Amino acid sequence: MVRSVVPPLAFLLPMIGAAGVIPLTAKAPRLRKIALAMICLLEIAVAVSFIPGVLSGTEYETHLVQLTPKIWMYLHVDAMGALFGLTASVLWLLALVYSFGYMEGEHRLTRYYVFFMLALSWTMGVAYAGNLLTFLIFYEMFSILTYPLIVHEETPEAMAAGTKYIIYILIGGSLVLLAIVFTFFLAGEQTLAAQGGLLAISMGKGKLTAVFWCFVVGFGVKAALVPLHGWVPDAHPAAPAPFSAVLSGVMVAAGSFGIMRVVFNVFGVALLRELDVMRWLTYIAAFTVVFAALLAVSQDNLKRRLAYSTISQMGYVALGVGLLGQEAVTGALVHIANHAFMKGALFLCAGLLIKRAGIHRVSEIDGLAQKMPITAAAFLVATLAMIGTPPLSGFVSKWFLGLGMLDVGQPAYLAVLLGGALLAAVYLMPIVYAAYFRPPSAAVLAIPERKGAEAPASMLGPLVAAVLITVLLGIASSLPGMPLSLARLAAAIAFK
């Protein structure tokens, strides 16, 4: 453990950015863009700077302020956090640059950018939180204060989606708070770095089980475990596309990340095996994978279909955690990173369709490839990754998940894994097919002509980057410093 002053930068930098947005608003929109992009780049630099150390076994910590006589606000960077922080910061940069194009001419841009940067700040705090209370602080802040982003468009649908979001999230947050209160009462304040968890079987099986479910249900709301997923399909279509991308890619994953913290750092693998609660989590997760994918098939609104796909994919993550096998957990962790970019790419495509063509529905996509070839190609690659085609990133996570299932002797779950992938093909491939092989729809024909590329570079650039990252995470997954290496390390620590 090394004391370091760098971790607080992860959440301070975007806060400074958010504060800086306000004076730059009307006078210098260009300067604002440059400044925000620089901050996101710095943010990535911070996230990357931890990785060599973490991979060589060094963990970083910072004590910030003493909240109560017993508890510090405390940051701690370990492999799991470094993985999540890296994913979040990179995806945020893409979404931010995309916003420059997408949000052009939209109302209340200052508010949008302020909360966009604040959301990054709090997400990074979640990634690097070193104890439960610190985790809760950042988790609650980013849950509540992303509300302005979800209702940004201020339409009645957006307001209704926002209300639904906030109610779900508050109930989840309250359960997490209760669980943390109980944990604190049982275990006292300890950092999440403590090996093998904070709790012990001697504290009483009933109590521990109750605490576990409080945690899992609380975080499960955010992680969109069925039947706690109700806010997801409404919030995603309502939010502006770049925010939908991070909402799906990182925010929902933060719930899964919370569950992982609980499983590996609060309870510990040994205790959970003894409590025998994890198989219920796997049942729920397996159900989530299949059920959400089935629902996705029948959605006509593209963003809503993608939202159901997110629910299904997060089910994989929970499934990997629930199996409690080292390989499966590696797969779950790396899937957080992989899913962020492929789902990010899909939402960025959806945003381009809305912005350039006014297309919201799957049924209007026919013949899109003729007018918007790059968008269609990006959609194709992301779809293949989502299905799990080698050598793209989705394949890597599914490979480890599958290995993990065999490893823990539960091959039956392979059916879920493959079924989910098959359903992903069923709900995404028809879109690709329609885009390439159907005659253009009226909506596509009505796309206004544009000089040069099919869309502004600020929107196409992030989309292409997200697709390239998806490819890279597949073909170069085994290089050191890639998410897979961090995921392997984190899983190894958890099962030591």
Region binding other proteins by CB under 8 A among candidate stretches 64-72, 95-103, 375-383, 428-436: 64-72
Of 12, 15, 48, 137, which one interacts with other proteins (CB under 8 A)?
137
Question: Long-range contacts for 464-468 (Cβ within 8 Å, ≥24 apart)?
Answer: 464/374, 464/378, 465/94, 466/91, 466/94, 466/341, 466/342, 466/344, 466/345, 466/348, 466/378, 466/382, 467/345, 467/378, 467/381, 467/382
Residue 111 carries which side chain, given as an amino acid letter? R
CB 170 to other proteins: min, Å: 5
Start-to-end Cα distance in the chain: 18
DSSP string, 144-209: HHTHHHHTTT--HHHHHHHHHHHHHHHHHHHHHHHHHHHHHHHH-S-BTTSTT-S--GGG-HHHHH
Contact between 182 and other proteins per CB under 8 A: yes
Peptide bond into 391 cis (omega under 30): yes
Q: By CB under 8 A, which span of 136-144, 294-302, 433-441, 460-468 interacts with other proteins? A: 136-144
Q: Does 26 bind other proteins (CB under 8 A)?
A: no
d(CA 436, CA 439): 8
| Residue 181 in the binding site for other proteins (CB under 8 A) | yes
Nearer to other proteins, 145 or 297 (CB): 145
Give the contact letters, 110-129, x = binds to other proteins (CB under 8 A), - = no.
-x------------------
Helix or strand (DSSP H, E) at 237: helix 232-238
Residue 350 main-chain phi, psi, to 5 deg: -60, -40
Pick the stretch among 68-76, 352-360, 394-402, 462-470 that binds other proteins (CB under 8 A).
Answer: 68-76
Q: Which of 16, 44, 177, 374 binds other proteins (CB under 8 A)?
A: 177
151 forms part of the interface with other proteins (CB under 8 A):
yes
Q: Which is nearer to other proteins, 42 or 181 (CB)?
A: 181
Return the residue of 15, 35, 42, 159 that touches other proteins, per CB under 8 A.
Answer: 159
25: contact with other proteins by CB under 8 A: no
Give the Cα separation of 171 and 487 in Å (integer): 30
Reduced to 3 states (helix: H, G, I; strand: E, B; else coil), residue 131 is strand
- Give me the least distance between CB of 171 and other proteins, in Å please: 7
Part in contact with other proteins (CB under 8 A); list of ranges 40-48, 171-179, 280-288, 318-326:
171-179
Q: Which residues pair with 66 in a beta bridge?
A: 72
* Choice between 170 and 354, CB closer to other proteins: 170
Q: Among candidates 261, 269, 282, which has minimal Cα distance to 136? A: 261
Choosing from 29, 41, 63, 154, the residue that interacts with other proteins (CB under 8 A) is 154
Asked whether 289 and 319 are in contact (CB, 8 A), the reply is yes
- By the rule CB under 8 A, 55 interacts with other proteins: no
- In whole angstroms, the minimum distance from the beta carbon of 189 to other proteins comes to 11
16 is a contact residue toward other proteins (CB under 8 A): no
User: Could you tell me whether strands 60-66 and 2-3 are parallel, antiparallel, or unpaired per DSSP bridges?
Assistant: parallel
Per-residue buried b or exposed e for 32-48, using 16+ beta carbons within 10 Å of the residue's own CB: bbebbbebbebbbebbe
Task: In angstroms, give the least distance from the CB of 71 to other proteins.
Answer: 9
Select from 86-94, 164-172, 322-330, 337-345 the region that touches other proteins (CB under 8 A).
Answer: 164-172
Site for other proteins in 69-108 (CB under 8 A): 69, 73
Q: What's the maximum distance between 2 C-alpha atoms anywhere in the chain?
A: 70
DSSP 301: B
Report the chain's C-alpha Rg in angstroms: 21
Who contacts 22 (Cβ-Cβ below 8 Å, separation ≥6)? 110, 114
Instruction: Mark the segment that binds other proteins (CB under 8 A) among 42-50, 172-180, 235-243, 421-429.
Output: 172-180
Indicate the residue among 176 and 469 with the shorter CB distance to other proteins.
176
Should residue 23 be labelled a site residue for other proteins when binding is judged by CB under 8 A? no
67 near other proteins, rule: CB under 8 A: yes
Do 444 and 370 touch, CB atoms closer than 8 A?
A: yes
Contact at 8 Å (CB) between 398 and 424? no
- The answer to the question of residue 15 lying near other proteins (CB under 8 A) is no
One of 3, 30, 57, 65 touching other proteins (CB under 8 A): 65
Nearer to other proteins, 58 or 191 (CB): 191
Candidates 130, 154, 140; CA nearest to 59 is 130
Applying CB under 8 A, the span of 83-91, 173-181, 285-293, 375-383 interacting with other proteins comes to: 173-181
Interface region with other proteins, contact rule CB under 8 A, candidates 142-150, 230-238, 304-312, 374-382: 142-150
341-380 residues near other proteins, rule: CB under 8 A = none
Which part of the chain contacts other proteins (CB under 8 A), choosing from 116-124, 140-148, 242-250, 292-300? Answer: 140-148
User: Three-class SS of residue 265?
Assistant: helix
Which of 429, 413, 431 shows the shortest CA–CA distance to 290?
413
Q: Give, to the nearest 10 degrees, the angle between helix 373-387 and helix 413-437.
A: 170
Interface with other proteins includes 178 (CB under 8 A)? yes
Q: Binding to other proteins (CB under 8 A): which residues in 319-338?
A: none
CB of 155 or CB of 478, closer to other proteins:
155
For other proteins, the binding residues (CB under 8 A) are 65-69, 73, 111, 133, 136-137, 140-141, 144, 147-148, 151, 154, 159, 162-163, 166-167, 170-171, 174, 177-178, 181-182, 184-185
